[in-house]
Amino acid sequence: MNLLHPASAGAVVNLWFMNGQPVRLVHGTTRYRVLAAEPLADTSGWDVEARSASGQTCRFAVRAVDDGWELSSAG
């Protein structure tokens, strides 16, 4: 599993939800299917484990911002 480089913090991501849970995520030009998601305790966001169509699994920490979602510090 890959963690995104901390320099990616602040990058825009798109999230799609079903029944209040993230199910799809797009970062850059890559689409991911969410495997697991848990709300972040200290912010309005999610810790998301997701897999791309090519089989790459990544972990994303995302937070809500005024106009959508962005990556928070990876770690």
d(CA 41, CA 25) in angstroms, rounded, equals 20
pLDDT of residue 15: 94
| Greatest C-alpha distance within the chain | 32
* pTM for the full predicted model: 0.81
pLDDT of residue 75: 39
33-62 pLDDT per residue, tens? 999 999 988 778 999 999 999 999 989 999
pLDDT of residue 8: 75
d(CA 72, CA 60) in angstroms, rounded, equals 8
Provide the token pair at 69.
């979602």
Say if residue 10's pLDDT is above 90. Answer: no
pLDDT of residue 67: 87
